[in-house]
Every structure is written in C-alpha cells, then in structure tokens.
C-alpha cells in the first residue's frame, strides 16, 4: 500500500500540498523506543486532525486512523488501527529491521453517505459525497525510518575497534564497507584505548578525538553516497532525522557541527572535568 500525494481521487481527500480542501490538515508523528527488556519496539503515535466533519466520522465508528508499516528487509507489513488520536503499540523486535516505510491515513470502515464539509474545494462541486470501506479520507506524507538495535543505543554502537598491524602506533583509519564502521588502530594503541574506555575521564577524551573523527569521516562518506545501504548509514540518517537534519544539512551547517550534534556536544564531556567555568573576561 503506497500513496502518491499528487494522485487524483474522484472524491476530496485531505492531504498536504493538494487543494482538495481549502482549509484543514492531518498530520501524524510516530516515535519508536525500545522496551526495557529490549524485546519489543514501542510505537507511540500522535495524530493531529482539525477537520470537524472527519473527526465526527471517526467518533461515529465510520472511519479510523490507519498506519501501515512496511519493512523491506523482513518483507513484512504491520497495520495499526485506532479511533483515538493517540496510540501506543508494541511489536516484537525481530518483526522489523532496517528500512521501514510508514503510511499514515484516515480510512473509511463503514459506508458513508451524504458527507459534506464547507472546507472542500468548490471545484469538487457542492456534494454531498459518498465513501465506501477502504477509501481514504485523509493522509499524511509517508516517511521512512531505520530500525536497528543501534538506533536505541549510543551512537558509538555503530563503531567497532579493530587491530591493524600495518598502521603506525598513532595512526587511525576508518573502514566503512561493512554494516558497522571499523576504527582500525595499531594493536598496541588499541589495547590502550580498550583500557581507556572504562574510565569516564579518558572516555571524554576519546569522544573528542577518535569518535568525533570517526563520525566526521562517516558523514563525509554519507555525503558522497547518501543512498548507501550499510546499516550504519541508516542509523546515522535516522539520528539526523530525529534532530530535524538531513543530507543537505551537511552542506548548509557543515560536517563538524552535525557530527557534534550527533555526539550530543562532545565538549560537554570534557567540561565536567575542568572544574568551575572561568569568569567572563570581557
């Protein structure tokens, strides 16, 4: 089930950028989290609909909010239905992974006759209109999310430290061809880093050096190949979307500022070890 926002329907449909209705809007936000036992996705939906006549049809049981989640990787589809604007649903973790496309609709469930609304574009004529079950009253722009366990963990979970004997002691390089990004280090230095990861102070230094450079390198690669299918690409794109950023942000804001946002301002990790903030010298 996929809907083109520019598709022509023989009846008025409330949707963005198409003037079937001269006033009114339908939008739905969908957030994903992970259950405490890490066995389920918790799906939290909040819909906003401000056309009173459609609201009444939902209240009367003649229409419903409908959300269709299609997962390309698992070849599965999940349908969520509700008569309430707010919905919380749980699905097993293994039921979806990777790219998930979400359709957000208001769908007819019982025949509707004599429907009229003053906000319908006069080009449709005076009405009234009739709808059959399965037809669409409203839909929001579909969007894509990337569901991976790493999405709910610190961003550093997309990295793995790997020894590379060909590197000098203080060299580092990043391998991005796999699902996780390999931070390759000289084995001797990798042993030092492994130890440092258990110390909060040293971890703050690692965030502002190795991990920041790794994220910058990943963003550079993503900028050159935004359609990359590696798992780390999807995780970063989802994290950027959560921050209302996209690939274009790498040009408008710059790679380093985006990396800093993704790592939740790594300088903050250092600041707590510097003691009191210095007085303003101005």
How far CA 12 is from CA of 2, 119, 252, in Å, comes to 18, 10, 38
* pLDDT tens-digit map of 115-127: 999 999 988 877 8
- Residue 184 and residue 205 share a domain: yes
Q: Are 129 and 78 in contact (CB under 8 A)?
A: no
Give the pLDDT of residue 279.
47
Confidence of residue 147 (pLDDT cuts 50, 70, 90): confident
Give the pLDDT of residue 6.
59
- Residue 159 and residue 114 share a domain: no
Taking 50 as the threshold, does the pLDDT of residue 281 lie above it?
Answer: no
Q: Is residue 48 part of a domain?
A: yes
pTM of the prediction?
0.61
* pLDDT tens-digit map of 2-12: 555 556 788 89
- Residue 158 and residue 251 share a domain: yes
- Residue 141 and residue 78 share a domain: yes
Taking 60 as the threshold, does the pLDDT of residue 280 lie above it?
Answer: no
Percent of the chain at pLDDT > 90 equals: 48
- Residue 253 and residue 200 share a domain: yes
* pLDDT tens-digit map of 59-102: 999 999 999 999 988 889 999 999 999 999 998 887 888 788 99
CA pair distance 209, 214, nearest whole angstrom: 9
- Residue 133 and residue 43 share a domain: yes
- Burial category of 8 from C-beta neighbours within 10 Å (exposed 0-12, middle 13-18, buried 19 and up): exposed
**pLDDT-wise least confident of 19-28, 44-53, 153-162, 255-264:** 153-162
Give the pLDDT of residue 5.
54
Mean pLDDT of 40-47: 90
Number of domains in the chain: 2
CA pair distance 78, 172, nearest whole angstrom: 43
- Residue 223 and residue 249 share a domain: yes
Confidence of residue 13 (pLDDT cuts 50, 70, 90): very high
Q: What residues does 254 pair with on adjacent strands?
A: none
Q: Is residue 2 part of a domain?
A: no
Give the pLDDT of residue 238.
84
Q: Extract the runs of DSSP E, i.e. beta strands, from 35-62.
A: 40-49
- Residue 102 and residue 208 share a domain: no
CA pair distance 104, 127, nearest whole angstrom: 26
Domain that includes residue 31, residue range: 26-147
């Amino acid at each position: 089930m996929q809907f083109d926002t520019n598709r022509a329907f023989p009846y008025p449909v409330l949707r963005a950028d198409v003037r079937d209705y001269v006033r009114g809007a339908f939008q739905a936000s969908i957030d994903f989290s992970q259950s405490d036992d890490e066995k389920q996705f918790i799906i939290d939906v909040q819909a906003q609909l401000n056309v009173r006549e459609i609201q009444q049809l939902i209240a009367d049981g003649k229409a419903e909010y409908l959300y269709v989640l299609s997962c390309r990787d698992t070849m599965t589809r999940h349908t969520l239905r509700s008569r309430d604007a707010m919905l919380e649903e749980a699905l097993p973790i293994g039921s979806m992974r990777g790219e998930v496309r979400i359709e957000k609709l208001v769908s007819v469930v019982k025949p509707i006759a004599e429907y009229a609304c003053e906000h319908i574009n006069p080009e449709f004529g005076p009405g009234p209109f009739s709808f059959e079950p399965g037809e669409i009253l409203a839909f929001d722009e579909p969007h894509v999310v990337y569901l991976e366990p790493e999405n709910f963990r610190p961003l550093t979970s997309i990295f793995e430290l790997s020894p590379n004997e060909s590197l000098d002691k203080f060299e580092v390089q990043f391998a991005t061809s796999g699902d996780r990004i390999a931070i390759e280090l000289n084995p001797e230095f990798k042993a030092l880093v492994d130890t440092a990861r258990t110390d909060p102070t040293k971890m703050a230094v690692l965030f502002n050096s190795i991990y920041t450079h790794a994220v910058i390198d990943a963003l550079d690669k993503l900028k050159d190949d935004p359609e990359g299918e590696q798992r780390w690409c999807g995780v970063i794109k989802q994290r950027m979307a959560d921050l209302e950023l996209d690939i274009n942000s790498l040009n408008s804001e710059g790679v380093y500022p985006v990396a800093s946002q993704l790592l939740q301002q790594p300088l903050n990790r250092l600041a707590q070890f510097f003691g009191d903030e210095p007085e303003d010298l101005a």
